[in-house]
Amino acid sequence: MALRTLESLGSLAGKKVVVRCDLNVPLKDGVITDDGRVRASLPTLSALLEQGARVVVISHLGRPDGAPDPKYSLAPVATRLSELLGKPVAFADDTIGDAATKVVDALGDGEIAVLENLRFNAEETSKDDLERARFASKLAAFGDAFVSDGFGVVHRKQASVFELAQALPSAAGLLIAAELDVLDRLTENPERPYTVVLGGSKVSDKLGVIGHLLPRVDSLAIGGGMLFTFLAAQGHKVGSSLLEADQIDTVKGYLAKAEELGVEIVLPTDVVVAEKFAADAAHEVRPIDDIEGTPWGEKGLGLDIGPDTAAAFAQKITSAKTVFWNGPMGVFELAPFAAGTKAIAQALTEVDGLAVVGGGDSAAAVRALGFTDDQFGHISTGGGASLEFLEGKKLPGLEALGWEPSA
């Protein structure tokens, strides 16, 4: 079966439509620091409002442990959504209680409301199927149809993602459809050369995607904290850098598999080694065969790829026709260790083809480093969901909408 899209729901004029968005934005002192996910929800919400639907937006924010917590309120998100839409957005300070009922009942055609954080209710993420189903049925009472558009949560079996899609006539929104279109282009006959760049802290988080992509790509570049497990697998000493010693044998297996398949594994030739994990730490660039050759010896820790590596990775990216990047190259939040990540982001803006930033920390990094969304072919709104898709895993939130993974 194919993914059900908005058209499958027919005319929604005058109907109440519950829309599951992913509005899990970073907040600092109640202020949104990156509204990328709010903006990504606009096409679907605008399309429904233009039809004359009565739109009820639901989302989670953070991990409030199943109880109300003011610091995880969606109120600032509702305010920002109103600014972006250029129209009032009603806000209910509960999810399924009296306030939500009153706000939803008051909606007119072409009007929109946001309900409070789904995860203020423990049933949303319960491991008990019946508990989730009961919560989903209460959410379903607010709508005539359900539109799932929170790509960042489609890999989760949660009430608002899985059971709610079964409780109402349901379809995917424009964001999910767009994300799947891009991911299909990354997995089904991608234009070549095809380069994947993986970073982030732990190699264990990326093992599945490495294994699934190896037969599909031309080159795989490894940066971030995970690079040290690869270097250790090659016999290099890595000081106090992040190392998953229990994954060294697995990494050796992937290196051998890549050689067998003719896939180029591009590893760093130099790294930025620091005295300590701090923005003001003394640091220097070291070749990978002399990481411990700093004044700090075995105590030094690598916090970014070096300039030679950044240039080599950038060259590999700009010469490709298809690029997928997930995971920063270093501790980009600290200025002295952001250069590697910035170089990768810059290279992606220069790709003559499809360049995809794979959500999560990568998306946060490009915005924090001053890039804009329109400089890239696509910025995913779901890091974990993107990776699980590329691993070939089943995604409950998509299967509930009729999607089936390709073999």
* Inter-residue contact 203 to 223 (CB < 8 Å): no
| Token pair of 382 as six digits | 């779901």
Is 367 labeled as catalytic in the residue annotation?
no
* Number of Cβ atoms within 10 Å of the Cβ of 230: 23
Yes or no: say if 280 and 298 are a contact pair by the CB < 8 Å rule: no
Q: Is 293 considered catalytic here?
A: no
Q: Which of 360, 382, 383, 397 is catalytic?
A: 360
Flag whether 206 is marked binding. Answer: yes
Among residues 15, 37, 138, 316, the one annotated as catalytic is 37
The answer to the question of whether 60 is labelled as a binding residue is yes
User: Which pairing describes strands 170-172 and 145-148: parallel, antiparallel, or unpaired?
Assistant: parallel
Please tell me whether 362 is known to bind a ligand: yes
Question: 62: how many CB neighbours lie within 10 A of its CB?
Answer: 16
Catalytic residue among 384, 392, 393, 402: 384
Residue 216 designated active-site: no
Three-state secondary structure of 259-289: HHHCCEEECCCEEEEECCCCCCCCEEEEEHH
The two three-digit tokens of residue 254, written as one number: 């992937």
Q: Is 61 one of the annotated binding-site residues?
A: yes
361 in a labelled binding site: yes
**Alpha-carbon separation of residue 63 from 187, 228, 240, 301 (angstroms):** 32, 31, 31, 31
**132 labelled as ligand-binding?**
no
Q: Is 185 an annotated catalytic residue?
A: no
Whose tokens are 């739109």? That residue is 55
359 is in an annotated binding site: yes
360 among annotated binding-site residues: yes
What is the CB-side half-sphere exposure of residue 17 using CA atoms within 13 A? 33
Show the tokens assigned to 305: 């790829």
**Which candidate in 39, 157, 185, 202 is catalytic?**
202
What is the spatial distance between Cα 199 and Cα 207, in angstroms, rounded to a whole number? 12
Q: Is 37 annotated as a binding residue?
A: yes
> Which is nearest to 139 in space by CA: 25, 16, 22?
16
Active site residues: 37, 202, 360, 384
Binding-site positions for ATP read: 206, 302, 333, 359-362
Binding-site positions for substrate read: 22-24, 37, 60-63, 119, 156
Binding-site positions read: 22-24, 37, 60-63, 119, 156, 206, 302, 333, 359-362
